[in-house]
Structure 1
């Protein structure tokens, strides 16, 4: 395969080659030694790219793959890749737009699965949490010694791996059911808010009690504990929810504001 002479600053070669990889006709300058077009060998590059993108999505969205089946998922990934190209040579985040692609009817074959987009969001959160920066988690003893008035002025800072997703569908239950070889049916079709954390090497998903969601969301958003507690309808449960955040490894640090600051 012969190619024109180009330099590092020549974007025409790179742009033309990239466009051809994603479906445009092969550039006219791709020729065999005798000057004949070489579209056949160029298909090797195109197929390699297709396989690489499909594999990246399979690795990041295994539950989606099981939900829709291999053939449907392969067609979905092909449709997605034709619209969304990687923005980085690091493929860990490829598929960030998959949920929006599904919701925007980018692949009508799955339009009858309204929960699928949120499953995609959850799987992306799981992947992001797994690859988040390493950081220690705060110990519960850090707040155990605080006086009530100091506790009210304390703000908690979430671990870098923490993600929270609220959905009108039981996405946490769906995800959990697909971690086993045998898939159990979802018995309660209710809305769920899922907390994703990675206190050590393993990612953990926790379906939050609905009453705790406003409090946990406020805490993870940087609201002081006293103010966040006002969002909870059952004050005795605030302590339980607070302890759970530490036990789940969701908190990296805390800061108690001085009086008058």
Structure 2
């Protein structure tokens, strides 16, 4: 049963609260046709008291409030996308997204989880004109996740060396829960950075440019970095449980000029690793 094809309530039995709530939510999600507006109150709304014009007006108000909630929830998660498309388009997008992907959680922070997939829908035509929008949305969702990720104490390089000495390469490091790795075929990270109050703020001149991206949280502030392919490969290997030494070998295989010491110092400065679940494999 679709929201625009509702069976009328059976007057022969007492309607339960659950049935009323379901019917009300279905009507909120439905779009009123021209014939409905001309003929007054749709038959399935006979559960409500009052004049048809009043009920129709009240439902329109509820619909407007619902759309505003959807729009604000998405705007909180996707501020860069909002800046790219503008208020009017974003509001229309939020309304259509809410209808196609209704919330399944009581937490509005989870409402926008499927927006990137939604934007890839060919029927909408968004990705045809702006093919980088889905990747920007995917990046912003990971930034959102990084902000709300579990808090864990971080590991300092000096502590790692102090504990394991020359054998520190055999340690298996756990990435902090806020760390996210993603590869974009578009300059989605460069676009995101251009919309922050940091750096030059210049929109990238080349949009179709691959980005290897690291997202993490430091001092409760999410950060986005465009990293080289070798660093991405090493961090991906670490995330899969490969020890530090072998992960660095993966990076060197990817780029013979990979600067091991410089990158290690950078990673620890960014506080990418946890200190409470440090594993160490004894040498045979």
TM-score in same-fold range (> 0.5) = yes
Aligned to 2:216: 197
Q: Output aligned runs, 1:1-261, within 5 Å.
A: 11-23=18-30, 27-33=44-50, 38-145=55-162, 146-148=164-166, 150-180=167-197, 183-189=201-207, 190-233=209-252, 234=256, 237-253=259-275, 254-259=278-283
Q: CA deviation at 1:5?
A: 6.8
Structure 2 Cα separation of the partners of residues 41 and 35 of structure 1: 10
Give CA-to-partner distance per residue, 1:51-79, whole Å, 9 cap, x none.
10011111111111111222222222222
Give CA-to-partner distance per residue, 1:158-216, whole Å, 9 cap, x none.
11211111111111111010114995231354211111111222111111122221111
Aligned residues of 2:190 and 2:203 also touching (Cα < 8 A)? no
Aligned residues of 2:251 and 2:258 also touching (Cα < 8 A)? no
Structure 2 Cα separation of the partners of residues 73 and 31 of structure 1: 32
Structure 2 Cα separation of the partners of residues 34 and 204 of structure 1: 54
Pair 35,75 (structure 1): closer, same or farther in 2 beyond 3 Å: closer
Aligned residues of 2:120 and 2:127 also touching (Cα < 8 A)? no
Larger radius of gyration: 2
Structure 1 stretches of 4+ with a deviation exceeding 6 A read 34-37
Greater share of helix residues, 1 or 2?
2
Q: CA deviation at 1:220?
A: 2.2
Aligned residues of 1:193 and 1:208 also touching (Cα < 8 A)? yes
**1:97 alignment partner, SS class:** helix
Q: CA deviation at 1:105?
A: 2.2
Q: CA deviation at 1:12?
A: 2.2
**2:80 alignment partner, SS class:** helix
Superposed CA RMSD in Å reads 2.6
Q: Which runs of 5+ in 2 are unaligned?
A: 1-12, 33-41
Aligned residues of 2:155 and 2:271 also touching (Cα < 8 A)? yes
Aligned to 2:38: none
Aligned residues of 1:93 and 1:128 also touching (Cα < 8 A)? no
Q: CA deviation at 1:96?
A: 0.9
Structure 1 Cα separation of the partners of residues 139 and 126 of structure 2: 21
Q: Quick check: 238-247 or 56-65, which moved more?
A: 238-247
Q: Quick check: 35-44 or 210-219, which moved more?
A: 35-44
Pair 192,31 (structure 1): closer, same or farther in 2 beyond 3 Å: same
Aligned residues of 2:120 and 2:134 also touching (Cα < 8 A)? yes
Aligned residues of 1:28 and 1:37 also touching (Cα < 8 A)? no
Q: Give the alignment's TM-score, normalised by structure 2.
A: 0.80
Pair 5,223 (structure 1): closer, same or farther in 2 beyond 3 Å: farther
Q: How many residues are paired up? A: 254
